Structure 1
């Protein structure tokens, strides 16, 4: 079996340091493994949080990237799910215990022992995991998903995080025809939330700091668009929504947003601020409202999401960049200067 000891990659050598070209080793292809030639890797805001230790102590050198799309070039002797030439994706985790109640339910992201992150983690052998800002990846076949033929690899890559992160809560809270959904923020996550909620049949409202992206929001499927910088927005929309999906990593005035929910409505966080937030319990008690969070999805639900997107004819809105533009792209993400996901062409690494 192939063992790759010098795979080109881009890594952050230390916290907050610029990413630079390097080489990493990938493990030997085992009997249940597939070797993926990575074609595209999305840049998620969580890559920046982790490379800069915004979420706590991290492992360096770090090769970020958990929005991975590529083609299988080798399969292990016991692989049954895939063949050479298959188009596959890899998301935020590459392993789990496979035995706990959540793994057995197909909710590997909630593994009791902790799923193994695609990067900034250690595998079952104690070796560091390295992500998609590289040319190749070896992974157990059970943790890859099939990219439908109707989706180009470049627009599919961000679906492996941004797509499933928004699809999973919308599905869990039974969004569909008749639902009124608000998406807070029209960025990498938010634009997918709009597309998916619209495709599910919901009436979709975007809540953004300004009206700067209103035309984009409406093009992506939003029925309404409001600026949160306008105090009248919160008066006009009070009690309007069944679900509010917050995709931003900024600290929000949660009580104000809870006022926009209907009775039994849910405010669901998928953005993860680096600082704590506070909430007045009376904002929840009145109207039996829910303040919730949602992570990603399991392997089966991620496949369901990809099939859903292919069926409805959309992927992410992307800007493809060369690898030497990664550091510039990080600064642009922080400045909200991307519409709406940077995707690295890994052939340039």
Structure 2
């Protein structure tokens, strides 16, 4: 409870803190710990720093003091962590020998929001209140807030507070996203069925049956044999097993949409407010079927942002840092003009509330 109060980070077994505690013996041999983007910056500049947005996800950053937690108290030496760096600040100039080798000037290496979701969310040009989904292997579902939420309700529901640009709070929940359909695609390709994502969506739209799965069930965490695991989940929860590619795909997409509703309803209860709009960015934003299911199941308007949202958010920080743009509003206007937004309205073609209650019973094990 105290750790959540300080860091605001949801419990996930692979969080950096738990990895360090598990391999504590390595710390005795460690000079410095760098997260991957900071390691690349070190190779380029020779300067060691830890960028804030990525650091905030590790369970090692205190949201309230804006500093590291009491590391010595949990057996981690403070000396292994370098100083922090913030988006728009420079790590330093590219190393002289590297610049010479590449025949480029010694340009500054500037910190962006090095956590991919932080950059993706920063690219969203919408200025209204909205819920976002950064839709990729994971679906990061949340809202932007001015300060963290570390209430008992938020902790019990395992919601997380990560830092975005300008110390905004990305209050969100991790949902297993397109990992499951990607694993199925690999399996179908291995069976020499070279089906594309567009063809999978077409099959799903024609399917007459779909079951429900909990995308976050441990059964779906590891790679391989995903089609069989979906059938196993349905069988073990008293549902008919999906058989065709279309039925399996619709099971996945439909279950994601219902899980989004489950996550958003809880989020709205924690915050005591209602959101009418969802903005979907990153790779999953081009899956029209999933977008429409999300709009209908969640009873909210869905709009799509950039598929390459992380790159655009990255570029926006760089443009601001180099004074290529004067204001963030100017940069976001550029993004708005460079993407093709699609709008999906809620379409209640069936008794979605009854189906949602059935979904909730299934994922809670109450059949």
Which range, TM-score by smaller chain? under 0.3
The structure richer in strand per residue is 1
TM-score of the pair, normalised by structure 2 = 0.26
TM-score of the pair, normalised by structure 1 = 0.27
Structure possessing the higher radius of gyration over alpha carbons? 2
The structure richer in helix per residue is 2
